[in-house]
């Protein structure tokens, strides 16, 4: 068979759909090789990934697309390229599928964040984006032979919000990269701590700065820990500041925490691993996640996790492997962080259980399940 993979979002860096697509491609190629290459795999890429990617063997071919998501080129140019390939089947790791594409496909829908938390920005532009989003995601769910989700929570959202038949959905959890691992020698990550001037024990948050990530409440909770509980700690926040969400830095200034909150900006993966290992507690205050990789990454690095009790987060972390709080209640966030910070036995228990939990999520398992889902959908078709 000739199987396509939409790789327009493709990256080996960090998490998200780019990483998901990268790991998916690597494992589908591996499985195809193990089966003596019965399928031709066609990867559809944008620049610069098209020129950077080198097909590992003759059964893998790359095709240049250069069509961004939500663009006219996606609906016209990408559609033409797909039709010219005459694929037997294609998997889309994201719901942005040309509306008039008629050949069989499977799709992964990671979450319904845009539906539940549409965000801020230019109201007119957001209005048209929302219309396009509603049309595209509905089209993807109706025409797909099979819909893959990354959690039972996203499956539930699809059934409740988009009326997708339950039997059409299969849950396949993400994996955690083997790069995330315990570092026992502090000297290895000390250079990173020095670079970002981290001098005290610290709490860590990693990720983007959108509304549903709930960073202002995390900072308020941290203010309680510093100013009322007198904990001599720092809060380290990674990620690129988003001009649409200035509340994060504004909250730091409002609470006079400029000397206690460290913003690193975007960092390299090796530095991220260093910070996971060095942190006393990883805090994940998100209001909504389709999966939520960072808590598992932290667990894999031997760091206790305190996280929201909402959406997929308890499902993925697992009961007993993290301490959960109500992300809408600042006092509860502070109380749960303090509880873990002050209890060495609880920390040790969370570290041990967390590492076991994180080890259960591998990209090898994920890749095999997605491969099986694609082949099954092809045969069924």
pLDDT for 131:
83
Pick the CATH number of 2-175+362-380 from 3.40.50.300, 3.30.70.1060, 3.40.190.10, 3.40.50.2000: 3.40.50.2000
Identify the CA nearest to 361 among candidates 108, 15, 9.
Answer: 15
Kindly calculate the radius of gyration of the chain based on its CA atoms and give it in whole angstroms: 22
The answer to whether residues 358 and 341 touch, using CB atoms and an 8 Å cutoff, is: no
Using CA atoms, how far apart are residues 67 and 77, in angstroms rounded to an integer?
7
pLDDT for 126:
65
The answer to whether residues 47 and 74 touch, using CB atoms and an 8 Å cutoff, is: no
Reported as a pLDDT band with limits 50, 70 and 90, residue 130 is confident
Residue 381 has pLDDT above 60, yes or no: no
Residue 121 has pLDDT above 80, yes or no: no
Reported as a pLDDT band with limits 50, 70 and 90, residue 368 is very high
**DSSP secondary structure string for all residues of 135-150:** HHHHHHHHH-SEEEES
pLDDT for 69:
87
pLDDT for 16:
81
Describe the strand order of the beta sheet including 2-6 as a list of residue ranges.
60-64, 40-45, 2-6, 89-92, 105-109, 146-149, 169-171
For the domain spanning 187-358, the CATH number is: 3.40.50.2000
> Quick one: three-class SS letters along 256-312?
CCCCCEEEEECCCHHHHHHHHHHCCEEEECCCCCCCCHHHHHHHHCCCCEEEECCCC
Using CA atoms, how far apart are residues 273 and 320, in angstroms rounded to an integer?
23
Q: What is the pLDDT of residues 197-208, one digit of tens each?
A: 999 999 999 988
Residue 296 has pLDDT above 60, yes or no: yes
Taking the CA of residue 34 as centre, how many other CA atoms within 13 Å lie in the half-sphere pointing to its CB? 9
Residue 339 has pLDDT above 80, yes or no: yes
Residue 376 has pLDDT above 80, yes or no: yes
Mean pLDDT of the 36-57 span: 95
Beta-bridge mates of residue 61: 42
Mean pLDDT of the 300-307 span: 98
Using CA atoms, how far apart are residues 241 and 243, in angstroms rounded to an integer?
6
Stretch (H or E) spanning 70: none
Identify the DSSP state of 212.
Answer: G
Reported as a pLDDT band with limits 50, 70 and 90, residue 124 is very low
The answer to whether residues 158 and 109 touch, using CB atoms and an 8 Å cutoff, is: yes
The answer to whether residues 111 and 161 touch, using CB atoms and an 8 Å cutoff, is: no
pLDDT for 116:
86
Percent over 90 (pLDDT), the chain: 86
List every span in the chain annotated with CATH 3.40.50.2000: 2-175+362-380, 187-358
Residue 120 has pLDDT above 80, yes or no: no
Looking at 1-103, which runs of residues are DSSP E strands? Answer: 2-6, 40-45, 60-64, 89-92
Mean pLDDT of the 49-55 span: 95
Reported as a pLDDT band with limits 50, 70 and 90, residue 377 is confident
pLDDT for 13:
67
Reported as a pLDDT band with limits 50, 70 and 90, residue 15 is low
Phi-psi region at 186: left, alpha or beta (left = phi > 0; alpha = psi -120 to 50): alpha
Reported as a pLDDT band with limits 50, 70 and 90, residue 149 is very high
pLDDT for 258:
96
């Amino acid at each position: 068979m000739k199987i396509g993979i939409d790789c327009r979002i493709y990256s080996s860096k960090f998490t998200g759909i780019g990483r998901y697509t990268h790991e998916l491609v690597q494992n589908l190629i591996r499985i195809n090789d193990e089966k003596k290459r019965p399928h031709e795999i066609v990867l559809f890429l944008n620049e610069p990934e098209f020129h950077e990617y080198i097909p590992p063997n003759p059964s893998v071919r790359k095709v240049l697309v250069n069509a961004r998501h939500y663009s006219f080129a996606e609906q016209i140019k990408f559609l033409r390229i797909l039709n010219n390939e005459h694929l037997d089947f294609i998997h889309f790791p994201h719901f942005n599928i040309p509306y008039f594409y008629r050949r069989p496909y499977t799709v992964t829908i990671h979450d319904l964040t845009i539906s539940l938390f549409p965000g801020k920005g230019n109201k007119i532009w957001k209005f048209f984006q929302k219309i396009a989003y509603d049309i595209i995601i509905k089209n993807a769910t109706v025409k797909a032979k099979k819909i893959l989700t990354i959690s039972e929570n996203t499956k539930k959202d699809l059934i409740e919000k988009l009326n997708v038949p339950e039997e059409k959905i299969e849950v396949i959890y993400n994996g955690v990269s083997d790069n995330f691992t315990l570092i026992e020698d502090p000297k290895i990550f000390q250079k990173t701590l020095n670079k970002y001037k981290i001098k005290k024990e610290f709490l860590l948050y990693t990720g983007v700065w959108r509304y549903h990530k709930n960073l202002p409440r995390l900072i308020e909770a941290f203010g309680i820990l510093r100013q009322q509980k007198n904990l001599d700690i720092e809060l380290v926040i990674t990620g690129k500041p988003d001009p649409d969400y200035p509340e994060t830095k504004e909250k730091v200034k409002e609470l006079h925490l400029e000397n206690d909150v460290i913003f690193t900006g975007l960092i390299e993966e090796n530095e991220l691993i260093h910070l996971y290992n060095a942190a006393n507690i990883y805090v994940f205050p998100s209001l909504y996640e389709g999966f939520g990789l960072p808590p598992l990454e932290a667990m894999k690095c031997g760091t206790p996790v305190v996280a929201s009790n909402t959406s997929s987060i308890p499902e993925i972390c697992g009961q007993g492997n993290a301490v959960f709080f109500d992300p809408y209640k600042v006092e509860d966030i502070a109380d749960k962080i303090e509880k873990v910070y002050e209890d060495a036995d609880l920390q040790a228990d969370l570290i041990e259980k967390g590492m076991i939990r994180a080890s259960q999520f591998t990209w090898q398992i994920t890749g095999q399940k997605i491969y099986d889902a694609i082949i099954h959908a092809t045969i069924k078709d």
